[in-house]
Amino acid sequence: MDEQGATSIEEQAAGWFVTMRGPQAEQEKARFEAWLERDARHREAYARIGGIFENARVLRASGQYGLSRKRGAFITVRKAFAPVAIAASVAILAVIGLATPGLAPWPSDQSRPEAITLETPPRTIRTFALPGGGALVLDRSSKAVVHLGDPGPRILLLAGRMQLKAMGSAESVTIAAGANTIATRSGVLDVALDDHEGTSVRLYSGYAQVHPHFQSAAYVVEGRSLQIGHPLYLIRGNIIQARDGFVVNERDWPSGWAQYRAVPLSRLVSIANRYAETPIVLDDPAIGAQTVSGRFRFNDASSLARNLATIFDLEVTERNDGLHLQRR
């Protein structure tokens, strides 16, 4: 387990949780025990990870709270859980880039790894196909660990954004993100973490339930069945109906496409620059204040810059620091 690569005690605990349930457990045992002894916070974080992980397993299989329960009812969580997501890891079928046409076959049971951590570099979207059916898409600079077990995969989102495409999968899937758990079967949904310990969830199809681990001492926050097309924002135990803002449809972001309404050019350019080798530069702030609507390929900065130049009668100049948009 690479302790230096983890940015927090919680990530280290998640990494050790994965390692000690994988094929390297025996050879890493001494290092793991030394890590536990080094700091009481290490032991506390590891215990929290294990507790939340076990709760996700019980919740999903529960007749009262699991996915087999009657739709439309609410989940009431009465135990306070730490605001740290759990981790275990996943065996993966394949990793593909945006231009890759197919998926490699899943290895045999004898060769498949017990656990793996999934991570994407900056500017890159990748799709991981799961052996039980469906796929997991990670946005740029995202990180997740998934564990394949009974009765189905458990995914921990540690950073960034993911889209789960569970269509065609016979198994239920549990996602832990921030201080929340989302359970789904045969659904397509986005889950994203922000810089304020908040989690955004949007269901595009199928069925999913969400509930917070963290509970206030004064009241219990109920879980909620997600409605298709109605995003939720979850933070510190609160479930809030999120506003769409300029977003019309982002379901196709794994392919680099999104539909926006009255989005400021400065915001659209900011989105595109997250994926751009050569960024777009707006020479005049007034250009960025203009708005545009439509369906955009945000991961092709060069085409986007030229399309915007045509729409707004701008000039594109390529320089060392980027593609400059300026008035003619």
Q: Let me know whether 31 and 66 are in one domain.
A: yes
Distance CA 315, CA 280 (A): 12
Residue 186: pLDDT band (50, 70, 90) is confident
Quick check: is 2 in a domain?
no
Q: Which of 35-44, 55-64, 118-127, 241-250 has the weakest average pLDDT? A: 55-64
Statement: residue 76 has pLDDT above 60: no
pLDDT, tens digit (0-9, with 9 covering 90-100), for 234-248: 876 677 888 878 888
Q: Let me know whether 17 and 109 are in one domain.
A: yes
For residue 47 the two structure tokens come to 């215990």
> What separation in angstroms does the CA of 55 have from each of 65, 126, 174, 319?
11, 29, 11, 54
Residue 64: pLDDT band (50, 70, 90) is very low
Distance CA 81, CA 281 (A): 45
- Cis omega (within 30 of 0) on the bond before 254? no
Distance CA 59, CA 53 (A): 10
| Chain centre to alpha carbon of residue 73 | 26
The predicted pLDDT at position 57 comes to: 46
Quick check: is 3 in a domain?
no
Quick check: is 190 in a domain?
yes
Distance CA 323, CA 310 (A): 14
State which amino acid sits at residue 127.
T
Interacting residues of 34 by C-beta distance below 8 A, sequence separation 6+? none
Q: Let me know whether 144 and 279 are in one domain.
A: no
Alpha-carbon Rg for the chain, nearest whole angstrom, is 21
Q: Given 241, 267, 282, which residue is the final one in a domain?
A: 241
Q: Let me know whether 225 and 262 are in one domain.
A: no
Q: Let me know whether 177 and 196 are in one domain.
A: yes
Quick check: is 81 in a domain?
yes
Domains identified in the chain, total number: 2
* Sheet architecture: strand order including 247-249: 247-249, 257-264, 291-297
Q: Let me know whether 292 and 202 are in one domain.
A: no
Q: Let me know whether 83 and 210 are in one domain.
A: yes
The predicted pLDDT at position 284 comes to: 93
Q: Is 268 left (phi over 0), alpha (psi -120 to 50) or beta?
A: alpha
Q: Let me know whether 112 and 255 are in one domain.
A: no
The predicted pLDDT at position 210 comes to: 85
Statement: residue 142 has pLDDT above 50: yes
101-121 burial: b if 16+ Cβ within 10 Å, else e: eeeeebeeeeeeebbbbbbbe
For residue 111 the two structure tokens come to 């060769």
pLDDT, tens digit (0-9, with 9 covering 90-100), for 81-104: 333 332 333 323 333 333 333 333
Distance, first Cα to last Cα, the chain = 55
Q: Among 250, 246, 178, 180, which Cα is nearest to 209's?
A: 180
Average pLDDT taken over every residue of the chain = 75
pLDDT, tens digit (0-9, with 9 covering 90-100), for 316-325: 999 999 999 9
Domain of residue 253: give its range.
247-327
For residue 204 the two structure tokens come to 């595009």
Which CATH number fits the domain that encloses residue 44? 2.60.120.1440
Residue 11: pLDDT band (50, 70, 90) is confident
The predicted pLDDT at position 221 comes to: 53
Statement: residue 294 has pLDDT above 70: yes
For residue 310 the two structure tokens come to 């045509």
Distance CA 252, CA 259 (A): 9
